[in-house]
């Protein structure tokens, strides 16, 4: 039973190891392919494309009269662009922002409609419209001096009229009492609020007075002038000694660095670094490049001088670039295009060489020690 479990675990681990090796081989050995083209005939036209199959990368950059445009696709969707194309889920995650059409929740609407308060006409829940009350008892003829004679009221208005007058008088009394009560409450609230604000201001002023730092009077220096001069001289001597010590340390570091620079180990490390740079350039070198340049200036002599300067670096472009001077008119036009591929294994191999280069690591360590001393 135990052996069976061990076998199953071993097979699973072996499968995982094989998958890891296959993924690494896929990433390191499958090349990154690129191509480019640049033309200038009165207007610029530049195109650069980079493709990498393991992650479905397809990056395209163009530059024309309307400016620079780029689109980067990965895993089947657009992750970066300035062309207005909708981003994929990965692109939105990389951007780190919310969707532009996102709608917030939890806020009041623009009309700001609240609940539970009185409206501007005094018609809110639980409120009394004073204008309506005033109109009601004004309409029935109630004055501030009370009732007229009961008999005259009965004669004039009748029994029903008297009942209406009494009801209106009750409404008036209630309104006057509610008005007096509200006014008293408003006055009390305003007095309490003003008193509380005055108390808070007073407490704040007392707190500021307590925490306000006291001014320390500078004691007058009654020492003789000779003592003051001696103190300044000692201070200058100390600063001079510190500067001298720092310069001495810098000179020692300089001597140590010169010693490292003149060592044989540094020469070997320098040769290795130059070789690594050449390997990197060879790894990214295009497989095919071709182009031509047609140029001319107002002065034919200047055109000839530029052509002579280009001839000194002929080995750099010989075989793929055709340069045609024009001694009769001012013109500049041409094109350049090419393609190539880059394998990440080349960079991984160079990185391993750097890490295991004894000469380079010893020089770096020695320089780091000198700098930190």
Burial of 116 (0-12, 13-18, 19+ CB in 10 A): exposed
CA dist., res. 108 & res. 360, Å (int): 67
CA dist., res. 90 & res. 108, Å (int): 33
- Is residue 312 within 8 A of residue 282, CB to CB? The reply is no
Cβ-proximal residues to 171 (8 Å cutoff; 6+ apart), any chain: 133, 136, 137
pTM, entire model: 0.55
**What tens digit of pLDDT does each residue of 88-141 get?**
888 888 877 544 433 333 333 333 333 343 443 444 433 434 444 334 433 434
Burial of 79 (0-12, 13-18, 19+ CB in 10 A): buried
Burial of 325 (0-12, 13-18, 19+ CB in 10 A): middle
**What tens digit of pLDDT does each residue of 150-208 get?**
444 444 444 445 454 554 555 445 444 444 444 445 544 554 554 555 555 556 665 55
Burial of 18 (0-12, 13-18, 19+ CB in 10 A): exposed
Nearest residue to 252 via CA among 365, 373, 146: 373
Q: What is the reported pLDDT for 87?
A: 86
């Amino acid at each position: 039973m135990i052996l069976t479990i061990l076998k199953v675990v071993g097979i699973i681990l072996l499968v995982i190891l094989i998958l890891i090796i296959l993924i690494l081989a896929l990433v390191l050995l499958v090349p990154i392919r690129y191509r480019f083209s640049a033309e200038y005939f009165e207007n610029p036209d530049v195109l650069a494309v980079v493709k990498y199959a393991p992650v479905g990368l397809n990056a395209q950059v163009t530059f024309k009269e309307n400016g620079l445009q780029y689109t980067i696709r990965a895993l089947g969707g657009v992750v970066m662009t300035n062309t207005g194309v909708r981003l994929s889920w990965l692109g939105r995650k990389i951007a780190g922002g919310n969707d532009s059409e996102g709608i917030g929740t939890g806020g009041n609407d623009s009309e700001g409609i609240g609940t539970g308060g009185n409206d501007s006409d005094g018609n809110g829940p639980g409120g009394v419209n004073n204008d309506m009350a005033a109109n009601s008892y004004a309409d029935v003829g109630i004055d501030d001096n009370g009732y007229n004679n009961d008999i005259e009221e009965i004669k004039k208005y009748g029994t029903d009229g008297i009942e209406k007058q009494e009801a209106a008088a009750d409404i008036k009394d209630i309104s006057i009492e509610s008005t007096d009560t509200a006014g008293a409450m408003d006055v009390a609230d305003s007095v309490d609020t003003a008193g509380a604000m005055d108390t808070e201001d007073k407490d704040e002023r007392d707190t500021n007075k307590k925490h306000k730092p006291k001014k320390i009077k500078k004691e007058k220096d009654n020492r003789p002038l000779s003592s003051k001069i001696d103190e300044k001289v000692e201070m200058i001597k100390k600063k001079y000694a510190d500067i001298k010590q720092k310069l001495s340390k810098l000179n020692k570091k300089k001597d140590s660095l010169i010693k490292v620079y003149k060592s044989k180990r540094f020469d070997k490390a320098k040769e290795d670094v130059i070789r690594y740079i050449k390997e990197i350039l060879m790894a990214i070198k295009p497989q095919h490049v071709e182009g031509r340049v047609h140029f001319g200036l107002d002065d034919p002599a200047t055109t000839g001088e530029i052509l002579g300067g280009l001839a000194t670096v002929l080995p750099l472009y010989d075989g793929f670039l055709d340069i045609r001077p024009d001694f009769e008119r001012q013109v500049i036009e041409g094109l350049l295009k090419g393609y190539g591929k880059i394998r990440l294994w080349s960079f991984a191999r160079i990185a391993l060489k750097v890490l295991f280069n004894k000469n380079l690591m010893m020089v770096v360590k020695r320089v780091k020690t000198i700098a930190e001393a």
